[in-house]
């Protein structure tokens, strides 16, 4: 196992911020697109459709520039599909809505919306490269896939009052208590408890969600008359979704590392 440092230096925090920025470039450009399309309208083209064109162009640029590889599209598309299914379900049951017009919609859900889930996948895939991420004490594949599956299903059952997230938190603490992510800042390797990482990323996405809802990317029922901060309970939702996302990426890399030149970051 590689040597892990315990003390951070000021230059390390600069490197950390820079690598986080590069990892989140897909999500950042989507947020910028949300802001720009609020003030700049293209004649005869609905905003939701404009956003779809923007995210498709961004994705193509990332591929052509080799910022993302063809393999990276696998987890990104998995998130896109899972996100679209969840969006359709939640919109149909009134959890939130996309009130503006648009041609490219499926069951009242604009196609661009699923790219926000893809951005999470893109961030995790890129962060693994930027930070030379490795994970120690990762659970067996059937345990990690099992917990991620029931968390995802809970997003649906919770709509009908069958929300078991408090029980999941206990499972997560037990399963990931010893799990740690190690990462490189400048030339030194550090580590962070996986549980803390899950929460911090979920908190960051919560802040990004507030920006998105402020610029009318989507609207919750309590934001129809006037914008207000997204319910704090969404932090737990995003944290759980991040756990599902990280598990998917890590398990996909474990699987494909046996078939193509992809690094298996599980280091036990």
Long-range contacts of 91-99 (CB under 8 A, 24+ apart): 93/159, 94/221, 95/159, 95/220, 95/221, 96/218, 96/219, 96/220, 96/221, 97/218, 97/219, 97/221, 98/48, 98/218, 98/219, 99/219
pLDDT reading at 165 higher than 90:
no
- Report the pLDDT value the prediction gives residue 6, as an integer from 0 to 100: 59
pLDDT in tens, 17-52: 899 999 999 988 988 888 888 888 888 899 889 999
163: three-class secondary structure by DSSP = coil
Asked if residue 97 belongs to a domain, the reply is yes
The residue range of the domain holding 226 is 10-256
Asked if residue 267 belongs to a domain, the reply is no
Asked if residue 265 belongs to a domain, the reply is no
Q: Once rounded to an integer, what is the mean pLDDT over residues 4-28?
A: 82
Asked if residue 177 belongs to a domain, the reply is yes
Dmax (CA) of the chain: 59
Q: Once rounded to an integer, what is the mean pLDDT over residues 193-202?
A: 92
pLDDT reading at 169 higher than 60:
yes
Asked if residue 86 belongs to a domain, the reply is yes
pLDDT in tens, 41-96: 888 899 889 999 999 999 999 989 988 888 888 888 898 899 899 999 988 888 77
Q: Once rounded to an integer, what is the mean pLDDT over residues 93-107?
A: 83
Asked if residue 5 belongs to a domain, the reply is no
Asked if residue 26 belongs to a domain, the reply is yes
SS3 content of the chain, % helix, strand, coil (to 5): 60, 10, 30
Asked if residue 268 belongs to a domain, the reply is no
pLDDT reading at 106 higher than 80:
yes
Contact of 205 with 242, CB cutoff 8 Å: yes
Q: Once rounded to an integer, what is the mean pLDDT over residues 109-122?
A: 88
Contact of 215 with 34, CB cutoff 8 Å: yes
Number of structural domains in the chain: 1
- Report the pLDDT value the prediction gives residue 221, as an integer from 0 to 100: 66
Instruction: Give the count of beta carbons closer than 10 Å to the beta carbon of residue 13.
Output: 11
Q: Which two tokens stand for residue 201?
A: 């990323």
pLDDT reading at 243 higher than 60:
yes
Burial of 71 (0-12, 13-18, 19+ CB in 10 A): middle
pLDDT reading at 8 higher than 70:
no
Q: Once rounded to an integer, what is the mean pLDDT over residues 113-135?
A: 90
Phi, psi values for residue 130, rounded to 5°: -60, -40
DSSP string for 53-120: HHHHHHHHHHHHTTSS-TTTHHHHHHHHHHHHHHHHHHHHTTSEE--S--SSEETTEEGGGHHHHHHH
């Amino acid at each position: 196992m590689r040597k892990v440092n315990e003390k951070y230096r000021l230059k390390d925090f600069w490197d950390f911020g820079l690598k986080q920025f590069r990892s989140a470039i897909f999500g950042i450009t989507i947020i910028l697109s949300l802001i720009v399309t609020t003030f700049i309208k293209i004649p005869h083209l609905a905003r939701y459709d404009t956003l779809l064109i923007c995210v498709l162009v961004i994705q193509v640029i990332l591929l052509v520039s080799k910022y993302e590889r063809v393999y990276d599209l696998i987890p990104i598309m998995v998130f896109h599909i899972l996100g679209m299914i969840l969006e359709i379900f939640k919109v149909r049951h009134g959890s939130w809505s996309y009130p503006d017009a648009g041609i490219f919609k499926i069951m009242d859900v604009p196609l661009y919306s699923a790219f926000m889930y893809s951005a999470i996948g893109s961030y995790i895939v890129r962060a693994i490269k930027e930070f030379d991420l490795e994970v120690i004490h990762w659970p067996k594949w059937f345990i990690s896939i099992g917990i991620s599956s029931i968390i995802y299903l809970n997003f649906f059952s919770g709509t009908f009052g069958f929300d078991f997230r408090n029980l999941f938190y206990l499972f997560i603490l037990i399963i990931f208590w010893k799990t740690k992510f190690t990462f490189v800042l400048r030339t030194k390797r550090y580590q962070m408890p996986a549980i803390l990482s899950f929460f911090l990323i979920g908190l960051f996405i919560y802040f990004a969600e507030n920006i998105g809802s402020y610029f009318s990317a989507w609207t919750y029922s309590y934001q129809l008359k006037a914008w207000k901060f997204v319910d704090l309970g969404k932090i737990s939702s995003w944290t759980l979704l991040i756990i599902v996302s990280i598990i998917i990426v890590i398990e996909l890399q474990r699987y494909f590392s046996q078939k193509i030149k992809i690094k298996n970051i599980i280091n036990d």
